[in-house]
Each structure stands twice: as C-alpha cells, then as structure tokens.
Structure 1
Amino acid sequence: MKKIILSLIVGILLMPISMKANEGMWFLMFIERLNHRDMQKMGLQLTAEEIYSINNHSLKDAIVQFNGGCTAEIVSKDGLVLTNHHCGYDAIAELSTAEKNLLKDGFWAENRKAEIKPSSLFVRFFVRMDDVSKRILSKVNPSMSEADREKAINAEIALIEKENNEGGKYTVSVRPFFQGNEYYYFVYQDYKDVRLVGTPPESIGKFGGDTDNWEWPRHTGDFSMFRVYADKDGNPAAYSENNVPLQPKHHLPVNLGGVKENDFAMILGYPGRTNRWMPAGGIEQNVKFAYPAWVEGAKTGMDNMKKYMDQSDALNLVYASKYASTANYWKNRQGMIDALTKFGTSKTKAAQEAKFNSWANKSENKAKYGNVVPTINKYYALTNEKARHDNYLQQLFRTSAFGAIGRTLGRQLENYVKADPAKRAQLAPAIEEMTAEMLKETHLPAEKDILAAQLKLYTTKSIGYAVAPVAKKIGEENNNDFTKYVNAAFDLSLFTSIERVKAFLAIPSQGILDNDPLYVLSNDLTTHFNSKSDDIAKAQNDFGASFRLLVEGLRESKIGTIQYPDANSTLRLTYGKVRSLPADKRNDAKINNYTTLDGQVKKYKKGDQEFDLPVKVLEMNKSKNYGRFADKDGSLHVNFLTDNDITGGNSGSPVLNGKGELIGLAFDGNIEAMAGDVIFDAKLQRTINVDIRYVLWVIENFSGAKHIVDEMTLVK
C-alpha cells in the first residue's frame, strides 16, 4: 500500500509538466532536454536533431520571419513561400491599382517572369542561437542604475553581434529573456528579393472581415504566396532580373490526409509578445486605463478612414492595410479587456504576488527581495493615468499620417537644413522619394478628419494626465473642435505637398520649418509623449530592477510555475493537438474542430463587404467540385482548431503533423481565450488554422494555378 501511495504522490508531482504540455513557446535548442519526450508521447516522430540542427538541414531551415512581423514557410525546392493573406496584405495592396486590383480580384503568376516584386519585402532565415547570459551579466552589478546597466549590456551586445555577423553576412540579435535574467544571441540571414506569386481574392482571403475576426466557427482562406530569389550562388541579393529562385536547405512536404481530433500538431514561428510574467498592477493598468484608450482611439481612426474608403476602390486601396491592422488590434484589445476582467486575472496574479511577498520577507530573502512587490505597485499607481494618456496619443500617431510628421519627414528636413551643400545634394532625392511615398498612401481630406477627430478625443479624454501644451491651447481656443485649425494647418503646411517640399529643398530655411503648423503640433505631441517627470523617471528605474528581481525570485522560490520566457519575436516551437470546442449550432461540421465550404457558403451575403463570395465558389460547392482535396467525409474542410499556444507574430506559421509535414496554416485565435497573452487557459485556448487542403483547392481548382501546386512535395 505504501508503494502505491508513493507512486501516486510521484505521479501527482509530475503531473504539472505533462498536463501543461500544450502551454509554452519553447526555444528550439532546448527541445531535446525539455520537451522531446512529451512530444513523442503525443505523436511526434521526428528527432530533436531533425527539428533543430546547426550542422544539418532541419525544420528550422524552412521557417522564416516574414517582413519582420509574421511567420512564413518554404514549401518547395524553388523557394516558394506560404504565409497568411493578412501578412501579405501590405505588399498585395501596394501592387494593386483601381484598374488592376489584385487585392480585390486575386492574382496567380502564370510563370516565374510574371511574379511581382513589391518595393520592400524580406524574409529572415534562422541560422543558430546560443546562451550568452553569463558573459553579459558579468558586466553588471546590483548597484547600477537601470540606465548604466543598459549601457554596459549594450556595449557587450555590440561586441557579440560583431563577433558573429561574419563581416556583415549575417544579422545578429542579442535579446533579453526572463525580464533580463538571461540573454541569448540569434544569427539570421535576410533575403530581400521576395516576389508575389499569388493571392486569393479578398472575398476568400479575408472572408468574414471584422465580424468573424477572433471568432469560431471560421471560414477564411487566409493565405498568400511569395517566392524568395537569390543570386546564382544562392546568396542574398538586391532585386535583379538575373536573380534565380532560392534553393532552400529544407522545404516542408505537404500532407493531404487531413486531421482528426487528438492528432498531434506542432507550430514553429515568431510569436511577437506575451506578458505571462506581468505583475497584477500591470494587468489592472491595461484593463482599466491603457486598453480602453487604445480601443477608443483605434475606433476613432477606423471610422474616419472608412467613410472615405467606401467612396471608391482607389481610396479603399489607400487605407486598406492601415484599416485592417488597426481593426485587428482594436478587436484584440477589447477582447483582452473582456477576458481579463471575466477571469479575474489580476486577482490571480495578486494572490501569487502576495505569496511571493511572504517568501521575499523571510530573513534570508528580505535584503534582496523584500521591497520588490511594493516598488512595482508604486510604479503602476504612479503611471496609470499616463498609460491612458499615452494610448490615446499612440492611436493618434498610428492612424494619422501627420501626427508624428515632425519625427519622420520633419527630422529629414531638419538634417537637410543643417547639412552643407554637398550633403544636401545627396539627401534631396531620398527626401523627395519619402515625401512622394507618404503622400501616395494618404488622402488629404481623410487625413484632416482623422487628425481633427483624434486631437479632440485626446484632449477631452486624457483627463488624469496633462495633455501636450500646444494641443491644449488650440483645444481651449476652439472648444476642442480641431476642424478649423487642422484645415488651416494642412493648407499652410509644406508637408502636404510634394511641390512645397521641393521648393523647401531648393531654398531651405529653419525658420519656415519652425513655423510650419503641422511640424509645431507634431513636435509638441511627440515631445510630450516622450517626456516624464522626475518622480516617474525614478519609479521607472526602480520598477525595472524590481520586475527583474520578481521574475528571478518567482523562479528561485518555485512560486512561479512558468518554465519558458515570454515571446519576443524569436523563433519558438509550440505543440499540442487537434482539439474541438463544445458543440456549436453555428457550425455544420460533425465535430466542432473544423469547418466546411458548405458552412462558408451558408454565411454568404451577395455584395456584402465581409461575406460576399465569388460566384465560382458557389457553383463549385453546389456541384461538390472538390477534386483531390475533399476529406474522407466528402466535404471540403476550410479551417480547423488546435490547442497550440500562439500569439501575434505566429500569423502564417506552419501547422505540422508528427512527421513534420504541413497540415495547415495558423492565422487566428478564439476570443474566449483572449487573455492568453497574459495567462494560458488550457480549456479555452485554441489556434484557428487554414486547412492546407483548402489552400491547395483554392490554388488548383478555383484559381486554375495547378503549376503552383505541382511545385510542392505532396504526401497522401
């Protein structure tokens, strides 16, 4: 009996590791030690070496960061890249015109020569990583201020980057983890000749629009395809007609067998940011101060964009990308507010911190950890209203092209004025190009309305923290109606006309710049945004040290149970299973872990911006023309669910089976688990994926681009 009880105790002690197998965004270099056995039990058939190897090709060689913000994967021996439609959205919109609207109508290059190069697009391959914690932390000590600490660390980082970039061949990034308690360096290789191969029409790639965003059941073909080009030796090269498709070290085979409940699912990608270690005060600040301002500011910007976007296809293209990005985070932040409030996440964190505080004030711990929790709480209490203020301003900067003009084009003109004639001759072409690009992506009547509306929101809603002086004065003189002022400022400003900028370049004058109304207003806003009182500066310094000690102490005391660092746009692996949600009458699928083309067609609304579909889709579904991509049940599966732990930045990540074969493309999460960036919920957390068979059906059957599918390595 004693042996049985002992076995049960041991089993219970070991349960948290296995029970939490789906939680975590893991470093590839530690898979063998931390995760491989769990993954094998769940269905992995690869060795750790086949996932991450420095000396041999492995899965990591097929995973790229896409344009600095998403993930993508190589799916052919000729450098074919698959990512989300919303990740390629900027490039597709840039290459579209009102006459040839690739975003609206879709596009598939009939051959390599027809593939189109956007002005700026790159993919980043991960080469290797290593731990440099001891080296970097040997350069700092507890008596340093946060500024001095950062200076010493940055100096060592610069040395590490230089040692590993091989004369500029590689990009090297040294990143902090566990709030600065560990450091790792990452070596990357960037390819900048990336061309559009194809995209479905927006009615497929963005089906469901804002209404279905973050929702399940989902029926969205969120994918697009590009190709990486290199010089004849396979090295990165600027765009040239002489470049050839990259021959990658590894590309992902594509599995046509489909998925079922409890199948193993693994995702590799570049998750942007999680805050699993965030203190209770930070969660409370976000829920009550920062995020409500974000939501309100984003909605104000969106409303003023939309009334112009609806006027014509040309204006829709001008703001399509900015609107989509703003809308995505608008709904995300509202979902975060609702989820964090519903689940009382800050209370859970506060209880953990109270437990930690008791441990911290034991005699053997007090000197190092005793003031950690009070210092953190003091910082949040002091900065709550500034957080609200800053989020109103951030949304002004994000939605208005002219809100931060003083720090963008204005900064370039400042440098131009101060330069000698020879230097000016070098700077002028780039400034003209920058101005032309900015104005091409704006519509001045819309920009006037966006800026006026955001200024009114900012000056009337940031009531607990002083607003920027110039904005305050204008508001007081005009009863916070900025319309008249903004209209006049646009009429007078040199920043609203390429001709005026050229005239300034011909006869530069600091006086003209200093008296430009948009320049003055913008500098006032950005200067005020970046300023802080001495009290806040000191509290911020103390908070930085205390947050680092909190994470260190939570790990040392075992009160904190998280075994992985927060996401920070470095390559991670997450694993789990295909997993349904409770039955939902809105989903016609037999099991609520997938959706079908039938379900998509049932949502169809002719002419609706979010739920319209091409007539051909309706006809092909009616005749059940699914070709070789139909599931065993006879339907065409569109999206499916897994319980992987992902976040923003994982968009476009490959979903792989136990053999490392591509089964889907991650593109979203469910709103019920929107607190997932702060606290993982094993019951609710789901990843929404495009079924790879639907992707191939859209390319081959719907679009008639079978030659693209033929490039891939298909596995039945």
Structure 2
Amino acid sequence: MRNRLLPLSLFSTLLFSTTIYNSQAKEGMWRPADLKKQADEMKKAGLQIPVSKLYEDGKAALNDAVVIFGGGCTGEVVSAQGLVFTNHHCGYGAVQGVSTDAKNYLINGFWAKNNADEVPCPGLSVTFIKKIEEVTKQILKGITEETSEAERAQIIAENIKFLETGYRKLLGYTAEVKPFYNGNEYWVTLLEKYDDVRLVGFPPNGIGKFGGDTDNWMWPRQTGDFGIFRVYAGPGNKPAAYNINNKPYKAEQYFPINTSGVKEGDYTMVYGFPYVTKEYLTSAQLAQTQDIIDPIRIAARKIKLGVWDEAMRKDPKTFLKYASKQSSVSNGYKKWQGEIRGLELNDVKGKKLAYETRLMQKSLSDTGINSPKSTLSQINAAVEHNNNYLRAYESTNETVLGIEIIGQAAYLQRVLNIYRSGVKDKALTDTLAKVKKGLEGFYKNYDAVLDKQLFENLMPFYYMQPGLAVAPKVKSLYTENGSDFGKWSSNVYGQSALAIKEMAMHYFDAPKASDTVDIKNDPAYQIYHAVIDWQDQSVRPGMIAYAKRTDLLNRIYMQQQLQYMSGERNFYPDANQTLRLTYGHVKGITPQGTSLYSYRSTLEDVIAKHNPDVEEFNVPSKLRDLYLRKDYGRWNVNGTVPVTFIATNHTSGGNSGSPVLNAKGELIGINFDRIWDGTMSDLYYDPNLCRNIAVDVRYVLFIIEKYGNAPWLFKEMNLVK
C-alpha cells in the first residue's frame, strides 16, 4: 500500500483537477473550505457573488447564518434579532410538546403578536458554527504503516478527545472532530449551542403538513412546510438557559429574502447539514441496502403505520399523542420505497459493477495484497458473511424493539444494572430519579391499548423471519403463551408494569430489593431481554467484526478510487452532518406514471386537492377564503401565489429546513424534501431524477402576512427584489 497509494497531501489536487462542467446538474456536497476550488465551476453555473461571501475562513460570511436546528435539521437566520426559518416538520416535535387540548398548535397553528407572545420550547436548541478547519495531521499523529487497526483506532480516539478538550478549554466552544473520505481526512467543527428557543409562527397541519404521508416524497407538492422560531441569548449575547430576561440573539449575519421569485433554469444553492450519504460503496455493499435493509424496514413499518393510522383517524387525542412519532416512522417508510425504486430504475448495482471493472482495468499493474482487485474481493467476502447478521439486526430493531412497551423495557434493564452496581440508600434513590425522568416523558404520548394491537401485528411478522433473526428465547416465550399471539399480548399488557405509568413509577418512587425479581418476571422485560441477549451474544459480535474489517477496507478502497478514478468523477466527501453547500438549477420533471411536466406548484393546486373528509388534504377555511377573495396582496403572481418549486441540488436528510439561495446568496425558498425516485441520491446521484423540493419564500411570506396576521415580522427582515 505504501508504494501504490497516493500521499494524502495530493488528494485535494486530484479531486478538483479534472472536474467536468455539467450545465444541467451538479453532483456534490461541498465543504465550505472547498468552495474556492469550485469557484470557477460555480460561476459557470451562474453564481453572481464571490464565494468569499458564502464562506471565508476566519471572517464573517453567509455560512454564519446557517444553523443546526434541534438535533437533525437545518435552519437559517433571517433577521438581526435571531429570527430563524426552518421546516414545519423539523419543529413538529417541539410544537407538539408545547401543545395541549386547549391550545393545539398542530391543528390550529400559532402566530405570536409580538415578542412577549413567543412560546418557549423546552429541549429545543439552535447551534451556530463558529469555525471549521482540517486537523488530519493532529488526529493521525503517532500512526505508522506498521500500526494495527486496533492501535490505530485507539490512537485516533485519544487524539480526538485531546483535541476536542483543548478547543473547549481554549476557546470555550464545543468541538466535534469527524472523519472524511472514510477516515483519510479529519476536520473539526467548533459549535455554540443556544437552548432558549421560542416559537414565533407555525402554520396549522392543513398548510404545514398538507398532503401528509400521501404526498410525502412526491412531486408535485403543495406543502407550506415552514416554521418560525427565535433564538434568545443571555448577557453578552451568549448561550443561556431560558430566562424571561433573555434578549433576542443579535445576529451579525442573516439572509436577505428575495421576493422576485424563481423561473426554470435559475441558479440555486442549498446550504445545510446533510446527514448521511454513502456514494462510494461497492456494488455488494449497495446490495445490502437495496435487498436487505430497505425491504425489512418497509415491510415492518407498513404494519406499524397501518395500526397507528387507523387509530389516529378515529380519535383526535390519539392523533395528538402519535402525530410526531407517526410522521417520523412514515418518513423513512416512504423514503426507502423511493430509494429502491430509484436504484432499480438506474440499475445502480450494474453501474457500480461496471465502475469496479474500470477501476481494476486502470490498476492492472497493481497486483499486491492491497490492489483494487484484492480490496474488492475482500469486501465482497465480508459482505456475504455479514448478511445473515444484518437481517437479524434489522428485523429485530424494526419489529420487537419497535413495539413501544418492549423498547421501554430498556429502563427496567437500567434499574437492574443500578442494583447490580451496588449503590445504596441516597445514592440509589438519586440514581433512580435520574433514570425516571426519561421514562416519565414517554407516557405523555403512549396508548397501551394501541400498542397491544401493534404487538399482535408485528410479532407474527418477526416470528416468520428466516435464519438468525428470531431469538431462541422468544420462541420459547411464544410456546409458553400457547403459541397464540393474542394470548401472549394479553399477558404482556395485562401483567407488565410498563403498561401503566403508575406501576412503572413504583420502581423509582418506592424502590425495594425485591424489585429485581419482579422485573425479571415482567413479561415485557422478558421479551426485551431475550432479543437483546440474543443480539449481544450472537448477532452484534458478527456486526462488530464486519464493521472493523470494512473500516479498513473502505478506507483503502476510497484511497484507490481517488487515485485511479479522479479523471472519471467529481469526488467530494460523503455527508456526515457537517456544513455543506450544493448547487444546481431550477428544473422541472415529469414524474413516473404521469405526463405533467412542472417545476412549481401554486395555490390553485392546493385548493384543487382540498378534501374536508381527509385530514391530510383539509385546507383551512381561512386559506380557502383568501383564495376565493383573491386576497393575495403583494404576493400575487399572475393571479395566484407560488407555493413550491424543485431544483437539481444534491440534498439529503438533514437538509430539511436548509436555505435555498439564488445566485446572489439571497433566500428564495426553504428546502423540505426530495422527489420519490430521487431519494436514492444518498447512494447515487442521477441528474435526470434527483430533485430537491422547496417552499417558495413568497408563499411563506404570504402565509405570515395574510393567514397569520403577523406582518410585524417583516419589519426585522431584509426583503429585496
């Protein structure tokens, strides 16, 4: 490997030396530090400002206005007073948390009349990026070619901990070091998290979630998927816990909002935190996703959603309890269906096999143990050995552990672990009190009767899984319950302390030594322990061994791709929830099975789908009234209001809520989805199918002003033409 692989210092030169301009679409999720190398390509595509306005190391730029919203979405600062736009679905859980039967902000929406009206959202955070820099040399210090993989991992872990601690002590920021190019590079991001975040504006489900699960991942879309929040700061504009005396965060950088709109062919950019992509997998590794992981998840979630959806339609209280959970489960369920469809339409496995053949042809002179041919052969063997473990792992997580009462038995396991640790008296009660907090919150949004139905539907599916999937002890428990899933569920939900909050809390509020016996006899815990023990003893060791083996092989394979294939493709690091910019153009598409080519939707399309008998398509009466009166104000565009548009930006999960920018770096939309056939862009980008979907910012402003009666917010925004 020493003689045949290029030095790391030459990688960056290779990555950008052979870029080929494509006027239709541009694959890639670029790190801010890479933008200068992409400047010429971005200008050719239509960028009208220097890339230094988007990012310049050590200086203020628009990247400072892009934030991590919560734990997994993106948001953008749109005023000097810390006003943040993001997606409706990104704020959904937080808004559910502050909603009640009397004040149901999900159904009715919410609009603050002034700062004093803004609602604190406990547990919600907004995180700013303070600095990004490469630290590869520091992290790989002490590693030689003779270093074993185990030693390498230990050295890297120690170096990361040392560096992160140093940054925190020296600069006062949280530091996160992450690998890039499968561990060939390392970069650190310095973060500043604000925990006082308040709700400012939130359209009702009939706007913000219009189309619901039916339209999720589809095109055309008519969803006003946005929410408005504000960041508050303590003294010195620094992070502080919620306090009524905190002031709106003073933002040095925020996005101007362009109200001129978009047309097909316009240059666009998306700035955000894409979560995970795996563009450089082998064909065998891709097949694991396409043939094992996605099908298992889809089948299990179809069962779960069928049970939940029926109950949610019948009962508003159940709807409120399960809205956020259902949305999360449904999102993946539909996404993975589209991912498989896109992979099949593109024959991505076939294309990757052909790519691997070309790689081996270009490296014929490399015949050593770490040649591309040898590396691919070793990866294929590792994948084949891992597939049974993978099936067992995925099926258990999506079925048994996806049943709520079984999943919550993890808290009972923690109680047992506490007793086993030997703590007593006050130390025991204090430790149990900390654990109790997590379980307590669970019951606010839990229905044992509904969960029992889920058990009776999911457990048979799990029981029929092949190979290693079914834990032997689960088979024994099934037999002990008369080989009858109905009888088994009655036993679990009739006898488990977890089925009733007060019974579960007894273990924390009045602990006694005999609790350990009761827990071990708890029927929900017995199932949990059966599958966890089976995974720990028989499944997880195989998964861990596979991960260790492929960590090395994938790192080598990535090096080989960079060395031999840089003239064929445009390399960029896979997404890992670090800040990235992607660029493309507004471009329509004709969805599969239709003949309608389009790049945007309008309010007419929203109204045309109105159906009062289907909650997903029930347009609020006030919006229908605005439509009937054509009361659009300044947001009137040829007799209607633009709602959404699509473009060719390469996005992923985590880009939800990302700012969609024009050639001048001005906000023109809020990214919220991809089209169904393009969801495979996490694994393979196809310019003919991949489209990101954004709410047109003019629809956002129209809803704020005409529906929410909150034009006071415009006074702090910079609206430009």
TM-score, length basis structure 2: 0.92
CA shift at 1:376, angstroms?
A: 0.7
* Shift in CA distance, 50/653, structure 1 to aligned 2, threshold 3 Å: same
Output one character per residue of 1:501-560: Cα deviation in whole Å (capped at 9) or x when no partner.
443232333333333222222122223334446766544433221121111111111266
Aligned to 2:452: 448
Aligned to 1:78: 81
* Shift in CA distance, 186/480, structure 1 to aligned 2, threshold 3 Å: farther
* Shift in CA distance, 399/704, structure 1 to aligned 2, threshold 3 Å: farther
Q: Matches of 2:522 and 2:593 in 1, distance apart?
A: 59
Correspondence for 2:473 among 465, 470, 474 = 470
Correspondence for 2:586 among 564, 578, 584 = 578
Matched, 1:388 2:391: yes
CA shift at 1:497, angstroms?
A: 3.3
For 2:467, what is the secondary structure of its paired residue? coil
For structure 1, which segment, 69-78 or 433-442, has the greater mean C-alpha deviation from structure 2 after superposition?
433-442
CA shift at 1:465, angstroms?
A: 2.2
Aligned to 2:304: 301
Output one character per residue of 1:683-711: Cα deviation in whole Å (capped at 9) or x when no partner.
22111110000001011011211112332
For 2:75, what is the secondary structure of its paired residue? strand
CA shift at 1:205, angstroms?
A: 0.6
Matched, 1:515 2:525: no
Correspondence for 2:632 among 626, 630, 633 = 626
Partners of 2:272 and 2:581 within 8 A in 1 = yes
Q: Matches of 2:595 and 2:631 in 1, distance apart?
A: 21
Partners of 1:432 and 1:501 within 8 A in 2 = no
Q: Matches of 1:200 and 1:175 in 2, distance apart?
A: 36
For 1:310, what is the secondary structure of its paired residue? helix
* Shift in CA distance, 676/502, structure 1 to aligned 2, threshold 3 Å: closer
Partners of 2:125 and 2:196 within 8 A in 1 = yes
* Shift in CA distance, 117/52, structure 1 to aligned 2, threshold 3 Å: same
Matched, 1:402 2:405: yes
Q: Matches of 2:336 and 2:325 in 1, distance apart?
A: 17
Aligned to 1:10: none
Q: Matches of 1:82 and 1:254 in 2, distance apart?
A: 11
Correspondence for 1:657 among 662, 673, 681 = 662
Aligned to 1:669: 674
Partners of 2:200 and 2:229 within 8 A in 1 = yes
Partners of 1:266 and 1:655 within 8 A in 2 = yes
Counterpart amino acid of residue 350 in structure 1: L
Aligned ranges for residues 416-565 of structure 1 at < 5 Å? 418-460=422-464, 462-478=465-481, 481-505=484-508, 506-509=510-513, 510-532=516-538, 538-558=545-565, 561-565=569-573
* Shift in CA distance, 477/421, structure 1 to aligned 2, threshold 3 Å: closer
TM-score, length basis structure 1: 0.93
Unpaired runs of 5+ in structure 2?
1-16
Partners of 2:272 and 2:655 within 8 A in 1 = yes
Give the percent of matched residue pairs that are identical in Structure 1 and Structure 2.
33
Partners of 1:459 and 1:475 within 8 A in 2 = no
Output one character per residue of 1:211-236: Cα deviation in whole Å (capped at 9) or x when no partner.
21111111110001111111031100
Q: Matches of 2:616 and 2:349 in 1, distance apart?
A: 36
Q: Matches of 1:618 and 1:182 in 2, distance apart?
A: 53
Partners of 1:79 and 1:248 within 8 A in 2 = yes
Q: Matches of 2:435 and 2:649 in 1, distance apart?
A: 45
Correspondence for 2:31 among 27, 43, 46 = 27
Counterpart amino acid of residue 600 in structure 1: V
* Shift in CA distance, 15/189, structure 1 to aligned 2, threshold 3 Å: closer
CA shift at 1:64, angstroms?
A: 0.4
Aligned ranges for residues 196-211 of structure 1 at < 5 Å? 196-211=199-214
Aligned to 1:117: 120
For structure 1, which segment, 76-85 or 620-629, has the greater mean C-alpha deviation from structure 2 after superposition?
620-629
Q: Matches of 1:392 and 1:608 in 2, distance apart?
A: 32
Q: Matches of 1:396 and 1:23 in 2, distance apart?
A: 36
Q: Matches of 2:257 and 2:339 in 1, distance apart?
A: 35
* Shift in CA distance, 546/236, structure 1 to aligned 2, threshold 3 Å: same
For 2:192, what is the secondary structure of its paired residue? strand
CA shift at 1:307, angstroms?
A: 2.7
Partners of 1:322 and 1:399 within 8 A in 2 = no
Partners of 1:409 and 1:434 within 8 A in 2 = no
For structure 1, which segment, 338-347 or 76-85, has the greater mean C-alpha deviation from structure 2 after superposition?
338-347
Correspondence for 2:353 among 341, 350, 355 = 350
Output one character per residue of 1:634-688: Cα deviation in whole Å (capped at 9) or x when no partner.
3210001111000111000001112211100011111122221111111221111
Output one character per residue of 1:154-181: Cα deviation in whole Å (capped at 9) or x when no partner.
1110011012123683111111111111
Counterpart amino acid of residue 676 in structure 1: S
Aligned ranges for residues 596-615 of structure 1 at < 5 Å? 596-615=602-621
* Shift in CA distance, 584/157, structure 1 to aligned 2, threshold 3 Å: closer
Partners of 2:143 and 2:152 within 8 A in 1 = yes
CA shift at 1:142, angstroms?
A: 4.9
The root-mean-square deviation of aligned C-alpha atoms, in Å, is: 2.4
Aligned ranges for residues 36-435 of structure 1 at < 5 Å? 36-142=39-145, 144-166=147-169, 169-360=172-363, 362-363=365-366, 365-396=368-399, 399-408=402-411, 410-412=413-415, 414-415=417-418, 418-435=422-439
Output one character per residue of 1:585-642: Cα deviation in whole Å (capped at 9) or x when no partner.
9899xx72111101111111123111110122222112221111122x3321000111
CA shift at 1:14, angstroms?
A: 5.9
* Shift in CA distance, 233/538, structure 1 to aligned 2, threshold 3 Å: closer
* Shift in CA distance, 367/382, structure 1 to aligned 2, threshold 3 Å: closer
Matched, 1:16 2:23: no
For 1:606, what is the secondary structure of its paired residue? coil
For structure 1, which segment, 359-368 or 593-602, has the greater mean C-alpha deviation from structure 2 after superposition?
359-368
Counterpart amino acid of residue 491 in structure 2: A
Q: Matches of 2:626 and 2:401 in 1, distance apart?
A: 41
For structure 1, which segment, 314-323 or 598-607, has the greater mean C-alpha deviation from structure 2 after superposition?
598-607
* Shift in CA distance, 118/254, structure 1 to aligned 2, threshold 3 Å: same
For 2:404, what is the secondary structure of its paired residue? coil
Partners of 1:109 and 1:197 within 8 A in 2 = yes
Q: Matches of 1:508 and 1:382 in 2, distance apart?
A: 46
Q: Matches of 1:207 and 1:80 in 2, distance apart?
A: 24
Counterpart amino acid of residue 270 in structure 1: F
Output one character per residue of 1:346-379: Cα deviation in whole Å (capped at 9) or x when no partner.
1111122233334555346555545211111112
For structure 1, which segment, 187-196 or 706-715, has the greater mean C-alpha deviation from structure 2 after superposition?
706-715
